[in-house]
Every structure is written in structure tokens, then in C-alpha cells.
Amino acid sequence: MSSVSSRSSQPAPSSKAPLTKQKPAIDPQSSLLSTTENGAAIAMAFPSVASDPTAALPPLRDETSAYPLVAKTCLQLTHFAANGSSAHGEETTAVASSALFHDPSYARILTTALDALIVCMRDHQDRRCRILAAQTLAILARAGYARIRHSPWVFAQREPTLGLLEDQVGSEIPAALAVASLDDPDDGVSAFALQALGRLVLGSSPTSGTLVEDDLAREIAAIAFAKATPYAPTLRAVADEDPSIPSMELQTRVTENILIPRMLQMIDRLLQYPRSDHVIVALPVVVATLVYMVQIVPAQLQGMDPTTYAKRWMEVDAKGLVDTLVQGVLLPAMQSSLDGALASAAVLASLRLAHICPQQFWVPQVISATVATLQEELFYKPLPQSLEQRMTTTAVVLIALRAVPFPTRTVTLIALVDIVAELPATIPVPHGVCTPGVLLSWEGYNVYHRPSRMGFWTEIALSFFIDGPVVEGGIAYPRKESLQQFLGSSSFVKVLTDSDNTRTVFARDELLVAFGTVAVETGRRFRVGTDGSSIIVDPNTSSVVEWVKMARRILVAFVPCINLGPKTPYLTEDLSMTSAGLATYARLLQEWLHFSGLIQPATSAALKLTANACPPHLLFDTLAESAAFLSSFPAADMGEMEPSSKLMNEIVVREVKQGIPSHHLRLFVLALAADHWVQSRILSTRKHFESSKKGASSLNLNMQSGRDICAALSPKRMLAKIIQAHVPPVDADGKRKKDPIQKLALETVRVCVACIENIALIACDWLKRIGSSPEAKHLISVSVGLLQGKIDETPLDNTMHSVVGPFCEAAVARIQAFYESDDTGLDQAFPVSELVTQSIKTKIKPLVSSSPQPAASEEDYLKGYLTQFYRQIVLGRVAQAVYSFPSVGSSLLMARPTNWLRLSIPPIPESKDARALGNVGDTLNASRDLVAASSSPSDATAVVLACIPRRNPRYDGEEEFRLTVVMRAYNVTAVEFSRGLRLEFGVTSHEPDPSDLDNITSIDEIRSLTKVEHAGSGEQDSISASAVYRDELKAGEYITWEVSLSPLSDNRSISVVPSVIYRCISSEPLEAGAEWTGYGMAGSGDISTSTGAESKTGEDDFQVTQLDGKPHLQSSKKSEFENVQICGESLVLSPMFGFQPCPLVFFLDRWGDVDTFRFLWFRMLFQAPPIRLKGNPQIFVSTHEKKSLTAKVGALSALTWDGEAIPGGYATKAWAFMTLSGKRILALLTESESKVSSQPELSLHLRADDRLLLFSLVGSKAAQDRVAITLTPGLFPYI
């Protein structure tokens, strides 16, 4: 600790006067109490802050004390539990919370207060005081238990004197509450004592999947409020000890030792409550305990049997206790419907118990009563509810419907369509970067929004494809019939035909994305197991056949949507929800046709050629992935030829008569229609010869359909539509850029010609196999005429004609050659165009390119962001449903009873589950760059400073991570500090200096990232905080100060500088001849001294001078008290300290979503010059650096993918980060061929949406080294 002290002079306090000015005493019997005119209300002044509230405890021990006095004492105790012994200094907006604690006195005061509260709860004559004492007892005990658990990152050992308090909170307090709940004669006191036990043990935000989690609450949050999946990586895996850990330990301790042994008596007491409000407050803790018992302590595990241990069996038989509660309380409460609040509480309790005991006899009755209660609340007797309450109730209805058989479920789902459609498309949420949200401007305010309806639509779709039993009363109700009833309902049609142009997001687009994605993903489970392995399911299996028919009904119902959407320029990448719905429709159509055996990957023009014929489009590029997926599986005829022909004919007619606005969708569906026609004729021919052997056959060329498809795919017609919608690209100065229209037109012509040629060749083959057919000849003539341009009179310029001519002439020659050939053998393979059989590599937009990225408007970015958010919500809900019911052949298939409610988190491959990470690595080793001893051996206090990320649960159930500064000051002297200490710290941000970079070009590019002309090293505005401990600090004791900071607006390197101020230290008289040295001047108000280590002479803090030629001393006649400040050594944090995995990219699981990464990558506003990397064996990377917090966050934020090709190389790794303040930065590692060595050249590319954030990472050589060590250990930047 640098011994730079500051002394401020102040008068010596008298022995009678307090050190600080105190307010006059207030008589609690008079001034604190006031009543309204009618005497109905009592108002109390907020009690003054006291470091030791034990003086206010007498009213708790007096059994006749007035209720206001008891209430005031409880309020003081609650305030003390949260804030400790600190008196805060000046408040700043950067400080979110601050608390200073002196552990020995805190434990002593808390123990005394808890004892007094127990006495009050047990002996007080006023029932209100006993209730208030029970509530305060639980709050104080839980806060104290969490407070004495200091960070394991900072302190290697726990204070042994705190063990008594732990035992008191974990044993004595819950035992006292349990006695009150069972023995107190007043039912209200008993009920609120049970509620106090719930306050003590129930967690608000525990780790997902743990025994103490409320799985129903988690599922409601995921459906209604777009909460990320439990598999997503967050800073909880690498941050400081989570606040929920002490709560879970306390809950486990109390549940097993106090609640479970008394559960039979508690349920018996609950059954005797005459008032419903008493039952409501006591129900949560009883239900949570029963859920815990069923999971952990079944009676059979204790070696008991019902006959021998009959009496004890009743106490430990968890399912028997559940039966008693359900039949005695829950079912009567829902069936009577006399009390709406009690019925709502019974619904939530019933669902949790029905999920944990799915095979109990009362489950069907409970589910039926639950749905009836919710329907009455939502539809028939709607109570005044907020938007959040309505969304919560709707989510609970959908969860309950999972266990309801068809067709009862269908009626309720149809009614829910109107409820969901009335919800707003997005809802505002509090600012929190751990929840993906889009920042929208509304009436001059920037508010974060997130989708509100997508989770509901997805659950409705899953209700048909996966959820629920299909048998009721011994009668099986096919899913497809229920789905058809739903799709034909007036509510669904109303949403589908909504044409209100004032809507930002149409409900029909959400419906199409939800139902289409659910259909695709549930169909893939028959081909891919949940562990990613390929499986082959018999296509004749009833579930497969049913899926094929349901998917067809989805396609037929949504076919009117293909004519909707705006007409955008040809090269414009529209990422709105409308485009997302159309891309989903095309993907479902493609996979359904393949599943039905109506397209073959080897001969399909749509699967092999169409992706390269369209401008880059993030949403439609998924069809290329779908084509690659389908090519790995054989296609089998599922008997869908006739209904599929009707669907494809309608699609073609809609394009010809009304037009499809989307250029991508038009080409994809027409190419699929051509492939379908070709494969249908092949299947018809095969069936003809197979059936002719049996004496009966039916054969139809379907010439009219083939002709319509050829006409729609006329090369001249398709090119004319492209040219009509094309807008030549220009740069920022208005100059025309390189136009890719000719290349895309060439690929479009290739697709059109391949499709028409395939149809003509099949018609020729028809003549050879079947014989003379006027329809076949006419179709051949039409195809050749369209290719020659004789039928389609659409005018084309010379440039486009040069594109069309060579392809068409070659195709006509091949058709003519095949028509005139003598190949008439029935065993010959069916012909296919050479354009399809050629090897073609699918091209996508490269992540790294030399051409500049065109700037996207803010509106387009927001639309695209919301679309990606919608995608993630749907995929997350579908993934958990599929994992809950793995298909046959999956390695995750386990022998367990089917639980239709599926509230538990299903298992997934470990590589996808971020929960398996735990706290990555050795926390003590990882803490060395975040924890430091900031004092020197000669200081009176030893100061430990730590800066750690810590999770802060929010009131809305979400979580937010904040930078938490922890200071602990030890008194290492042999004397006490009678006036206590004042702790302070300051946070200063620093800007990097790019002058140490050797490459001049890089300096210019990097300096352009900042708005200042010269980006030199300098300090920015700082923030500070302080807290005062006014009591005596004895020798060997310590105080601990914890401060949570709000997210810093800038993400530069910061320095945290601590300081300790010794309050009211007696000053010594200044001797004559002593001269102050250092920074201060004698006589100034605040005088600083320098130690010998820092003085120029290297001697003492002051030196003797000569006056009048003789050394002498100057005496000071007055004695003063001074505040002596000692500043500690600063702790420097890199800009990457505040990073976390991007919540939008990692919404689903640990692997991350590549499509979302690509969306953000191409829309980052700023990019830095590539950082070239190479290995340097002379530079040693310590194990500590590899295990640092930033390195751990880098590992958490890395996407799992196979990489992709870029011009001249390959992109191998990708990272997606978000700062604690909501800014994003993405990184990409690429390899390219080296011109000077055999080793590939490695480059790190960085892009961000904030200029200064990117500059802080690349603005100096040291900053670039830190980034390289964090992301690519063993590689270092070089010029």
C-alpha cells in the first residue's frame, strides 16, 4: 500500500458531544404515531439508522407491548439485516447497492435479535405481534445466513465464530417456527408461521434443474416471458459464488431436518384452517416439501414396509401425504369455485404435485379440475388482470392442457387463439442485458422489448404434434383430425386473414413460423436422435404416417400466405417476420415432399441448384442446410401423391394468377413443384408396371400441371421479374457498384432450364415406356417452345438474351437427342438433366470479404433482431419438448413413465448443456487477477481488494450480472481504532494508446475508431463510493464492504483504487525544524506526506532544517484530531472483464446459434483491422492466464460449429460476447494460405456495435496481446 496519507484538521470532540450531529430523541408513543380521522390507520416515521439496534429490542420481550412499537423494532431489524453497520457517504448513480459489515458484532446483534423475536412470537399476547415476529424472524434469519457466507474467491477460510449463528438459523429458528405453526392456538399465527418457513427456505431464482427449483415457475417464465433455456451458458458458470447457493443449502437443511419429520402434523393442521387466506399462505411451503420428499426420501429407501412400520409409514410415505393434501384441500378448492384466490393457488399446487406423481389415481381428476378452474378464470369470469397476469394464466392453461386428452383439449386451444392474438406483439421489460431484448423508441424513450406471443403459439403447435394423450374413455382420437378442426376454426381463419397494415408484426406470421418450425423439428426426430446420431424409423410406423398427414394439413392451411408480403428490390435482404414465415413454409414443403418420397435429392433441381440462384438471404439460406440434411436419407413413397399434387397445383396457380412477391420463395416453390411433378410421374410409371402384372393399372401424365409449371418457370418470365424488381446498387457517394445481377440471372436461368428439361425428358421417357401419347408430345412441344422463346413473348434486352440463349439451346439439343434415341428398355434409369447431375458447390455469403458491408437501416436491424429472437424462442421450446419424449433409437431414451406435463428439464448431450460446466477451473487460481492485497506491511490495516462479477436476481425473475467491489480491512495493530474507519474506492477508466503499434496503417485505421483526433493514453471520468464504520474496531478484527456497481457505460480498461481513512486520530505537535515533504505544503488544510520509499532522498517522512543557523523545534500549542487517509495499490481490470456470452446467440444451449451469429456479424457497425497471430515459443503463457476469468468467459462464448470457407481461406472459430452494459462484440478466427511459409496465416477479426468498445480492445499492443491470450492461448499478435 503506498503510504500517501492526507490529514484534515478538525476540532477535538468533547467527551460529552457525539462525533456526528445526532437528531433529538423522538418519543415513540407520541410523535411516531398518528391516526386518521376515523382512527383506522396508523402512520409511523421511518426509524433512524442505527449500527446496533439491540437498544430497540425491549418491546419484543414485553408480552404486553403495543403493536406499533413491535412493528418499529421489526423495521429496524430488517434494515440492519440488509445494510449492516455502514453509514454511506455521498451517493452516486453508479452504485447499485452498498453494505458494510463487521462480522463479530453483526453475528452478536443478529443472535440477540433472533432470540428476542422468538420470545415475541411465542409469548406476546397480541396475535398481530406474533405474526409480525414470525415474518421478521424468517427474513432476518435468511438475510443473516446469506450475509455470513463471504465470497470464496476472496477469502480462503470462513470465520469460525460464525458457526453458532449458522446453527441457530439452520436449526433453532426453523424449529421455533415449526412449533408455532403446530402449537399456536391462533390459526392465523399458525398459517403465517408456515409462510415464514416458506420465506426461509423457498428460493426465488435457484439454479435450473436443482431439487429446490420451482419447475412450474420456470416453465411459465419460458412460455410467457421468453426466458432462455436452462442449457444456455451464463456467467453463473464462472462468476463468484451464486447468491442462490446459501439459500439452497439452507432449504435442504431445513427441509430434511425440520419440515419432513413434521409434514404429517403440518398437513393435518392445514386441513383444520377455517379461512381460505390461511390456506393460501401456508400452501407453497407444504407443496415444495412434498415435492422434495417424493424426489428424495421415498419410504422404501429407508427399509420400511407398510405393515411393520405402519405408524411411521404414514409420516414418511410422501405419496400418501400428497394424496391427503390433494383430496383434502386442492380438489375441493378447485371444484367448489367459491374462492377464486384459493382455487388459483390450488391450481399451481396441483400441477406441481401431478407432475411429480404422474401415475397417482387422482391425476386425471386433478387435471380436469385444473383446466376447468383456469377456463373459468380466463374465459367466463375474467377478473381485472394486468398484462403479466393474463400472460401467466394463459401459460398455466397451456401447461395443464398437455395432460388433457383430445378432443377436449382442441376446444380450449381454439378459444386460446383469440386470447393470444389480442396480446401485443412485444412487451417492455426492465433494462437487463441477461435477457435478449431489442431497444425500441417509444414517445422519446428507449425501452427494451421482447416478444410476447411466440411462446404461446409454439405451445399450441406442440400440443398437436407431441403433447398429450390421444385416448379418452377407451376411444383414440387421431391428432390429425384435431389439428384439422383447429385449422378450420373461425378463430384461426380470423388470424390468418388479418390485413391490418398498422401492425408491426402480424400474428399470422408468428403462427406460420411456430407451426412450420414445430412441424419440421418434430419430423426430424424420426431421422435424428436427440444426441445427434442418425436413426432410421420405419416409414410405416403410425407416428410417422400421422406426422406426414399433419404436415400436409399445415401446408394446405397456410398456402394463402405465399401471396402476402411486401415487394422488395431483388437484392434486398428482407429479414422481417413475414419473410421468416415464408422461408419456414418453403422449408417445411421441401422436407415434407422428401419425407413423402416425392422428391429425390440426386435428381432434384430445387435441392441442388436453387440456393445458388438467389441473392444472399439469411432466412432462405437455411434451405441449403435442409437440402444437405435430406441428401443423407432415402425417400420412401408414403402414398401422398394425389393430395400433394393438389397442393402443388394450387401453389403454381397462385403464382401465375396472383404472383408471389418474394423472389426467393417463388423460385424455391416452383422448382419444388417441377421436382414433384417429375418424381410423381416416375412413381406412377413404376406403379403402372407393378399393377399391370396383377391385371389392373391406372396411369395419368397430368399434362396440364406440367404445362403450368413450365410456363411459370419460363426463363424469360423469371428474368423479367428479376429485372423489374432490381435496383442497381450504389455506394455511400451515389456511385454504382459492381452489380451481381448478371451472375444471379445466369444461375436463375440454370434452375429454370433444368426444371423444364427434366419435365420434357420425363415426357419423352413416357413415350418410350408407355407408348404414343398426345399429351406427352404436347408437353414436349411446350417445353421446347418455352426454351426457344417462341411461346413466351416477354421482351429481353441483348444482355439478358445472351444469358438465356446458351443454356436453352443446349437443353433443347439434349431433349432432341433423347427423343430420337433408341433407348426403350424398361430397365433403363429415368432421364435427368445434365445441369442437375453436375457437381455444384452451394455458395453462401462469406463471413470475411474484401468488399465493404452495406449499411443497414435501424428499422431493418430491429426487424431482423426480432426475427432471430422469434426463431430462438420456437427452437428452444421445440427442443425441450423433443428431448422430453426422445424417439426410439435415441441414446437418451430412458425407461420412465410418460409425464405429459414435462416440467422437468430433460437430459441433453453434455456438450450442449452449460449447466455441466459448474464453476470452470480452479476458482482460487482464477482469482489472482481479480483479488489483490492492496496494503504494505507497515500499514496499520491490511486491505484485501477484489473485483468480481456477481449475479443479482431481479424482481421480475430475470438475472443481471454486475461488477462487485469487495474490500476487507483488517486491524493488524495491537490497539483498537476507537472511532472506526472510513473506506473509499475510486474507479477510473483508461483509454489505450495506439502509438506502440508498429504498423502505421493499422494505427490510422485503429485511431479512426475513436472520435478524437489523437487517441492517446488518458484517464476518463471516474466514479467513487464510500462507507463509514463508526464503532470501535478492535485489534485483529476486520470489516467487509461490498459494493455492486451499475453497468459502466464505457468498456475501457479500468483501475480500482482503494483507500482507508483513519477517523479522528490525535495529531502530534509539529516540532520546530520539521519540514513537510511530498505533495502537500505546511499549513494547508489537507497535508500529504511521502514515505521514505517515495521521498527523493530515501530518508524519513520529514527532515530537520536549520533556522538561524541552529537546529531547533517549533512547538504547536493546540491538539487536533485528524483524518488520515492511506491510498492502496490499484487493481487494473481489462476491458474484457465485463464480457459475458451473448444471450441472443446462446439462447438455446452451449453450442450457440450460427444463423444468429451471422446476422449480428454482418450488422455490426464497426470493425477493426485483422490481428495477425502466430505462435511464439519464447513467450510463456502461465496456467494462471489460461484459467483467468476472461479466458473462462472466452471459452463459454465460443460457438461450436464446423467452420466455413471464406475467400482464400477458412473460418475456424467464432465468439459472441455482450458487455454488462448491453454492447456486443463478435470475433472470428480465420486461416489463409501463407505466401512465405508452409504454415497457414492466422488472423483474428473483431466487430462491434460500439466504436470505443472496439478501440479499447485493439487500441494498443498490450490490448491486442490480452485479447489474443484470452481467445487463442499460445498465439500472439505480430506485425
Is 921 a member of any domain?
A: no
Last residue of a domain, one of 403, 420, 449: 403
Question: Strand 1053-1066 and strand 1131-1133: pairing?
Answer: antiparallel
Is 93 a member of any domain?
A: no
β-sheet bridge partners, residue 295: none
Claim to verify: residue 392 and residue 347 sit in the same structural domain: yes
Is 1201 a member of any domain?
A: yes
Is 988 a member of any domain?
A: yes
Claim to verify: residue 966 and residue 879 sit in the same structural domain: no
User: To the nearest whole percent, how much of the chain has pLDDT over 70?
Assistant: 77
Is 419 a member of any domain?
A: no
pLDDT tens-place string over residues 395-419: 999 999 999 988 889 999 999 999 9
Which residues are within 8 A (CB) of 870 and not within 5 positions of it... i.e. 6 or more apart? Answer: 451, 454, 510, 513, 577, 580
Claim to verify: residue 776 and residue 869 sit in the same structural domain: yes
3-state SS, residue 1165: coil
- Region 296-319 average pLDDT: 59
Confidence of residue 919 (pLDDT cuts 50, 70, 90): very low
Claim to verify: residue 188 and residue 225 sit in the same structural domain: no
Separation CA 200–CA 173 (nearest Å): 9
pLDDT above 70 for 774: yes
Claim to verify: residue 840 and residue 938 sit in the same structural domain: no
Claim to verify: residue 179 and residue 280 sit in the same structural domain: no
DSSP 664-704: HHHHHHHHHHHHHHHHHHHHHHHHHHHHHTTT-------HH
| Contact yes or no for 453/425 (Cβ under 8 A) | yes
Which residues are within 8 A (CB) of 1276 and not within 5 positions of it... i.e. 6 or more apart? Answer: 1173, 1174, 1175, 1176, 1179, 1265, 1268, 1269
**Which among 1234, 1227, 1225, 1239 has a CA at the least distance from the CA of 848?**
1227
The C-alpha angle with vertex 243 and arms to 238 and 248, in degrees rounded to 5, equals: 110
Is 333 a member of any domain?
A: yes
Taking the alpha carbons of 543, 546, 551, 552 in that order, is the dihedral positive or negative?
Answer: positive
pLDDT at 793: 66
Claim to verify: residue 656 and residue 627 sit in the same structural domain: yes
| Contact yes or no for 1224/1253 (Cβ under 8 A) | no
The residue type found at 980 is: G
Q: What are phi and psi of 20, to 5 degrees?
A: -115, 155
pLDDT tens-place string over residues 352-387: 999 988 888 999 999 999 999 998 888 876 656 788
- Cα–Cα separations (whole angstroms), residue 737 to 468, 573, 728, 887, 1257: 56, 17, 8, 52, 32
pLDDT tens-place string over residues 583-642: 999 999 999 999 999 999 888 999 999 988 888 888 898 888 888 888 888 888 888 999
Q: Is 146 exposed, middle or buried (0-12, 13-18, 19+ CB in 10 A)?
A: middle
Which residues are within 8 A (CB) of 265 and not within 5 positions of it... i.e. 6 or more apart? Answer: 182
Q: Which of 31-35, 554-558, 569-573, 896-900 has the lowest mean pLDDT?
A: 31-35
pLDDT above 90 for 1152: yes
* Owning domain of residue 743: 499-729+738-847+862-884
Is 607 a member of any domain?
A: yes
Is 219 a member of any domain?
A: yes
Claim to verify: residue 175 and residue 246 sit in the same structural domain: no
| Contact yes or no for 933/942 (Cβ under 8 A) | yes
The C-alpha angle with vertex 1101 and arms to 1095 and 1103, in degrees rounded to 5, equals: 95
Claim to verify: residue 717 and residue 575 sit in the same structural domain: yes
Please tell me whether the peptide bond between 539 and the residue prior to it is cis, using omega within 30 degrees of 0.
Answer: no
Claim to verify: residue 221 and residue 325 sit in the same structural domain: yes
- Region 504-525 average pLDDT: 91
Task: Say how many domains are in the chain.
Answer: 5
Last residue of a domain, one of 360, 376, 403: 403
Which residues are within 8 A (CB) of 1146 and not within 5 positions of it... i.e. 6 or more apart? Answer: 228, 232, 233, 914, 1152, 1153, 1197, 1216
Averaged confidence pLDDT in the chain:
80
Claim to verify: residue 1025 and residue 1095 sit in the same structural domain: yes
More reliable by pLDDT, 662 or 473: 662
Claim to verify: residue 952 and residue 985 sit in the same structural domain: yes
pTM beyond 0.85? yes
